[in-house]
Structure formats: structure tokens, C-alpha cells
């Protein structure tokens, strides 16, 4: 398995920004590496959606300072 090249990451990041995915480069790089190892893309997308929903719920429940 090869690693994600800087050029691949740059192109993927630009596409991510155009699609307003909200992924930073580090997160996107981790996702690409997972995909290279055979992780199901749809399953990965669902995990990301669930984590975002959970983080959003927790942020809403957190007491304001």
C-alpha cells in the first residue's frame, strides 16, 4: 500500500472545500489512508456524520461560560 502523496491530498482537499465537507487536511489525510487500506467509504462517511452529530449535541448541552 502506498501512502497519500502531497499532490493527492492537495487535490482531495480542494474538492473537499468545494463540496463544503468541513474536513481539515489532517482529517482528510487520515480518511484517505483508511480508504487505501480498504475501509468502506460509505461506512466511513456514516461514522463521520455520527461523530459530528454527537459533537454538535454535546456542544449544545455544554454550559456557557
Q: What is the pLDDT of residue 63?
A: 79
Cα distance between the two ends of the chain:
47
Task: Please tell me the pTM assigned to this model.
Answer: 0.80
Q: For the chain, 65 residues long, give each residue's pLDDT as a single digit of tens.
A: 568 899 999 999 999 999 999 999 999 999 999 999 999 999 999 999 999 999 999 999 987 76
In this structure, is residue 51 part of a structural domain?
yes
In this structure, is residue 1 part of a structural domain?
no
In this structure, is residue 46 part of a structural domain?
yes
Reported as half-sphere exposure (CB side, CA atoms, 13 A), residue 15 has a value of 7
Residue labelled with grid coordinates 468541513: 22
In this structure, is residue 15 part of a structural domain?
yes
In this structure, is residue 25 part of a structural domain?
yes
Give residue 48's domain range.
Answer: 6-61
In this structure, is residue 24 part of a structural domain?
yes
In this structure, is residue 44 part of a structural domain?
yes
CB 29, CB 9: distance < 8 Å: yes
Q: What is the total count of domains within the chain?
A: 1
SS3 assignment, position 45: helix
Amino acid at each position: 500500500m502506498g501512502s497519500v502523496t502531497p499532490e493527492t491530498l492537495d487535490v482531495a482537499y480542494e474538492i473537499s472545500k468545494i463540496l463544503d465537507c468541513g474536513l481539515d487536511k489532517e482529517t482528510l489525510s487520515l480518511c484517505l489512508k483508511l480508504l487505501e487500506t480498504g475501509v468502506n467509504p460509505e461506512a466511513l462517511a456514516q461514522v463521520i456524520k455520527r461523530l459530528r452529530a454527537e459533537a454538535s449535541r454535546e456542544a449544545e448541552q455544554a454550559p456557557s461560560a
